Amino acid sequence: MTALDEAVRVLRAGGLVAFPTETVYGLGADASNPEAVKGIFAAKGRPAGHPLIVHLASEDQLSSWARDTPPSALQLARAFWPGPMTLILKRAQGVIDEVTGGQNSVGLRIPSHPMARDLLAAFGGGVAAPSANRFGRISPTTAEHVRTELGDRVDLILDGGACDVGIESTIVDLSSGVPVLLRPGHISIRQLESVLGQPVGRASQASPRASGTLEAHYAPSKPLLLVEPARLKATIAEQSRAGVVAVLSPQSPFTDVVVAIWRQAPASSEDYAHDLYAALRELDASACTTIIVEAPPESGQWMAVRDRLQRSAAGSQTHAT
């Protein structure tokens, strides 16, 4: 039996399969089986009531999951699926509350990773999958990360190598008539607007609950400080007096301050995103006591990376207290 056959067997039996997508690894279960979906929450330690994304093999399946598919959804689907985008649409009848968190909407995505596509095509149904990490922690971008996070809480891990994009999908809410960005990602607001020919709003506090939009998220276990470039050197000097400092910055290592670990980040936002979670895991596992990250530019191109770093910093404060 191939790993893929075995994965399909596990999903049909109500088990959990971790699988690679182009964004991050997902923790998958049969999206039409309430008990299987409950297993996801148990394995992650995620509070019930947080909605999950349903992963599909093809657009033909949309009508089984979404009650209506507005023209804007079809435009975005044509432009960006298969790929790193999730659409929030009005849910079809029969979509279970365990998946939607009891909301009237459902999150749908057609991923492009070949192994995810093969799995979804062979399984035939929808696969509910959040990122395959413990709740609030750093998302996994390799099979090894999933093993470290979840161990035997998952029945099977498909290994598809390191994820291309490296951060979670762009989420666009189309369930209310006007498009709203719930989570920035590799596909930028500008790309969405150019396909839609209309402005895309930003999520407000009143938007539907999305765990990726909680302040504390993607968090290492050590305190993480996000520092503007102008304050970097002074902060390193300050922090190294109290402990062991690790730095993530696109600059080459400073020679006039003491730094235990310096990880040089890629200069482009795409490469930075690709490496981000692996870098944070590595620094978190190092002998450092504090992680200092140089804040990337505020331009639209860096929006998704900045978003994840801000949440990592906020989340690490929560753990620290």
Return the residue matching tokens 């930075």: 272
Of 75-83, 98-106, 238-246, 283-291, the window that binds ligand TXA (rule: CB under 6 A) is 98-106
26 binds ligand TXA (CB under 6 A): yes
Q: Pairing relation of β-strands 156-157 and 17-19?
A: parallel
Which residue's beta carbon is nearest to the bound Mg ion?
Answer: 131
- Which of ligand TXA, Mg ion, none sits in contact with 169, Cβ below 5 to 8 A by type? ligand TXA
d(CA 70, CA 244): 53
- Where in 178-237 is the site for ligand TXA (CB under 6 A)? 182, 208, 210-213
How many C-beta atoms lie closer than 10 Å to residue 296's C-beta? 19
Q: What phi and psi, each to the nearest 5 degrees, are found at residue 124?
A: 90, -25
Residue 11 burial (CB < 10 Å; 0-12/13-18/19+)? Answer: buried
> Least distance to Mg ion from the beta carbon of 187, Å?
17
Binding partner selected for residue 210 from Mg ion, ligand TXA, none, CB under the kind-specific 5 to 8 Å limit? ligand TXA
| Contact status: 86 vs ligand TXA (CB under 6 A) | yes
* Residue at 45: amino acid letter: G
Q: For binding to Mg ion (CB under 5 A), which residues are involved? A: 131
From 63, 62, 103, select the one nearest 207 (Cα to Cα): 103
Smallest gap, in angstroms, from Cβ of residue 146 to ligand TXA? 11
Neighbours of 270 (CB within 10 A): 14
**Peptide bond before residue 82 is cis, with ω within 30 degrees of 0:** yes
Return the structure tokens found at 206. Answer: 């009143």
- Rounded least distance, CB 159 to Mg ion, Å: 20
Note whether 240 binds ligand TXA by CB under 6 A: no
Stretch touching ligand TXA by CB under 6 A, among 51-59, 73-81, 253-261, 267-275? 51-59
- Which spans of this chain sit near ligand TXA (rule: CB under 6 A)? 21, 23-24, 26, 50-53, 86, 88, 100, 103, 105-107, 109, 129-131, 168-169, 171, 182, 208, 210-213
